[in-house]
């Protein structure tokens, strides 16, 4: 899987094309009433009982891209007789899935098993990421990337872009065309990686500013300031991150934190003044609401407390944590301390684009973790949807089917004669049905995906 970098055709990273089509939004002008069993978590099941809402004969009324009503089909139908009814019985409606940690530049290193973080970066991820200097390569991968998100039911993703502005622009453009909500930014680094991936702080500032002006808040796109991780960013680069956040309203922030013991030792060496890893980011004001830090597998008690107090979200990436041998995530400690936690696939350290699978892996690893949290289907759904919306400061807009929110919808329909269809014949409770979906529904079960009511993906060989 991993190998030598190929020869790159370098493009001028400032040659970003601001495409006027970016952010075009279309939606049906007639109300649509989707009819199918539906699940969502309008409340937080880690804090409240009965957080899972289920309607066996469900109705989801969509008006101008928004949820106008969610509940029992007949009740909604009775007061909305002019809506077009779409009979989707035989499948299930879930809110659009939300991935809070994924790398655009790493699609082609999926499956590079057998290494731990720093060796994997050096031998697998970074050589591949260097190829993103070639804009045509970046455009091709961007198409694959957004297609894979949609085909796995992900409607919103917080994405590490590339170390190159033009490649990051290619991702934003593909994201805009796809209709998905893409929150992303150019990856910033000025040391410790490989020379092709380094920018000077000054260059990173100029390129990031250009991308922010071009893409932030255009249609469904948002910009996230994205220093790769503390070992690859000097203090001057972290200062640039702070400046960007001060200069532009509403930027999100993403980075990595406490993933691997060798990485943490490196941070201690490079930032001898910092009391711990998190303190490096804190020194530059890099945390709080709208900030997502991936992994945090090896936190101190103090870091957990400070993450909770700041409102920073930890993106839990259980498949990656297992694949790279990073360790078992202390979910219970985070939740009990009040840290916000959402899910990330961490492609390509992880194993693929499926957030449903990620929720299942979170469940599995918590089963074997010492003092693990026992996840149920409601908690898995919350982590896969609403928790991600809250992480991104989009909790008022997406994450569940409450009226007024955007109609971001995944239609899960098991293939004929599949294990999932067989299991669903005999499930007796909503929780059992949802647990079966998390366990057995892969991309072959994602029949249709909508963002703001508009179809952005339909399974071709559907049944």
Say whether residue 358 binds Zn ion (CB under 5 A): no
Binders of Zn ion in range 287-306 (CB under 5 A): 294
In the complex with ligand GUN, the residue whose CB is nearer, 125 or 146, is 125
DSSP state of 91: B
Position with the least CB separation from ligand GUN: 349
Binding Zn ion (rule: CB under 5 A), the pick from 346, 408, 448, 452 is 346
3-state DSSP percent of the chain in helix, strand and coil, to 5:
40, 20, 40
Say whether residue 220 binds ligand GUN (CB under 6 A): no
Say whether residue 349 binds ligand GUN (CB under 6 A): yes
Among ligand GUN, Zn ion, none, the one that 230 touches (CB under a kind-dependent 5 to 8 A) is none
Site track 100-139 with ligand GUN (rule: CB under 6 A), x = hit? ---x-------------x---x---x--------------
d(C-alpha 440, C-alpha 186), whole Å: 35
Among ligand GUN, Zn ion, none, the one that 110 touches (CB under a kind-dependent 5 to 8 A) is none
Cα–Cα distances (Å) from 458 to 75, 94, 177, 398, 454, in that order, read 28, 15, 15, 21, 11
Say whether residue 229 binds ligand GUN (CB under 6 A): yes
- Least distance to ligand GUN from the beta carbon of 186, Å? 14
In the complex with ligand GUN, the residue whose CB is nearer, 127 or 349, is 349
Number of residues binding to ligand GUN, judged by CB under 6 A: 11
Q: Which of the ranges 33-41, 52-60, 340-348, 418-426 carries the binding residues for Zn ion, by CB under 5 A?
A: 340-348
Say whether residue 259 binds ligand GUN (CB under 6 A): yes
Cα–Cα distances (Å) from 121 to 106, 125, 192, 228, 324, in that order, read 10, 5, 11, 12, 10
Q: Where are the beta strands (DSSP E) in 113-168?
A: 154-160
Assign 128 to helix, strand or coil.
Answer: helix
- Least distance to Zn ion from the beta carbon of 355, Å? 15
- Least distance to Zn ion from the beta carbon of 346, Å? 5
- Least distance to ligand GUN from the beta carbon of 243, Å? 22
CB atoms within 10 A of CB 23: 14
Q: Are 104 and 142 in contact (CB under 8 A)?
A: yes
Cα–Cα distances (Å) from 163 to 186, 278, 418, in that order, read 6, 23, 41
d(C-alpha 463, C-alpha 459), whole Å: 9
Cα 445 to chain centroid distance, Å, stands at: 20
Say whether residue 163 binds ligand GUN (CB under 6 A): no
**Contact positions vs Zn ion (CB under 5 A):** 294, 346
**Contact positions vs ligand GUN (CB under 6 A):** 103, 117, 121, 125, 228-229, 256, 259, 320, 346, 349
């Amino acid at each position: 899987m991993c190998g030598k970098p190929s020869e790159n055709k370098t493009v001028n990273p400032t040659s970003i094309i601001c495409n006027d089509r970016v952010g075009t939004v279309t939606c049906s002008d007639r109300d649509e009433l989707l009819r199918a069993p539906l699940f969502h978590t309008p409340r937080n099941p880690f804090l409240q009982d009965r957080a899972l809402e289920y309607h066996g004969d469900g109705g989801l009324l969509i008006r101008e891209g928004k949820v106008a009503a969610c509940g029992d089909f007949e009740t909604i139908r009775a007061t909305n007789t002019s809506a077009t009814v779409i009979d989707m019985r035989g499948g299930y409606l879930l809110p659009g899935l939300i991935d809070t940690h994924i790398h655009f530049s790493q699609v082609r290193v999926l499956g590079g098993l057998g290494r731990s973080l720093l060796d994997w970066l050096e031998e697998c991820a970074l050589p591949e990421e260097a190829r993103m200097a070639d804009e045509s390569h970046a455009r091709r991968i961007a198409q694959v990337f957004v297609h894979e998100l949609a085909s796995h039911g992900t409607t919103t993703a917080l994405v590490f872009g590339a170390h190159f502005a033009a490649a990051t622009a290619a991702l934003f453009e593909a994201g805009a065309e796809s209709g998905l909500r893409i929150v992303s930014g150019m990856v910033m680094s000025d040391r410790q990686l490989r020379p092709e991936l380094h920018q000077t702080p000054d260059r990173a500032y100029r390129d990031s500013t250009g991308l922010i002006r071009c893409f932030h808040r255009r249609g469904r796109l948002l910009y996230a300031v994205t220093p790769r991780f503390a070992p690859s960013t000097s203090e001057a680069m972290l200062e640039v991150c702070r400046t960007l956040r001060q200069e532009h309203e509403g930027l999100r922030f993403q980075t990595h934190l406490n993933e691997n013991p060798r990485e943490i030792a490196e941070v201690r060496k490079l930032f001898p003044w910092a009391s711990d890893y998190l303190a490096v980011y804190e020194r530059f004001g890099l945390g709080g609401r709208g900030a997502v830090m991936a992994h945090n597998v090896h936190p101190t008690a103090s870091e957990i407390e400070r993450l909770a107090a700041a409102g920073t979200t930890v993106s839990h990436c259980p498949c990656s944590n297992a694949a790279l041998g990073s360790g078992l995530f202390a979910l219970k400690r985070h939740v009990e301390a009040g840290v916000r936690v959402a899910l990330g696939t961490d492609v390509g350290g992880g194993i693929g684009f499926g957030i449903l699978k990620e929720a299942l892996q979170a469940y599995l690893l918590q089963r074997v973790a010492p003092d693990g949290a026992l996840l149920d289907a409601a908690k898995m759904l919350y982590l896969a949807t609403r928790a991600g919306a809250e992480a991104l400061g989009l909790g008022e807009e997406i994450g569940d089917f409450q009226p007024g929110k955007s109609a971001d919808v995944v239609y899960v329909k098991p293939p004929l004669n599949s294990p999932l269809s067989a299991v669903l014949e005999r499930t007796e409770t909503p929780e059992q049905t949802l647990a079966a979906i998390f366990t057995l529904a892969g991309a072959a079960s994602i029949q249709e995906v909508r963002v703001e009511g508009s179809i952005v993906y339909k399974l071709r060989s559907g049944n």
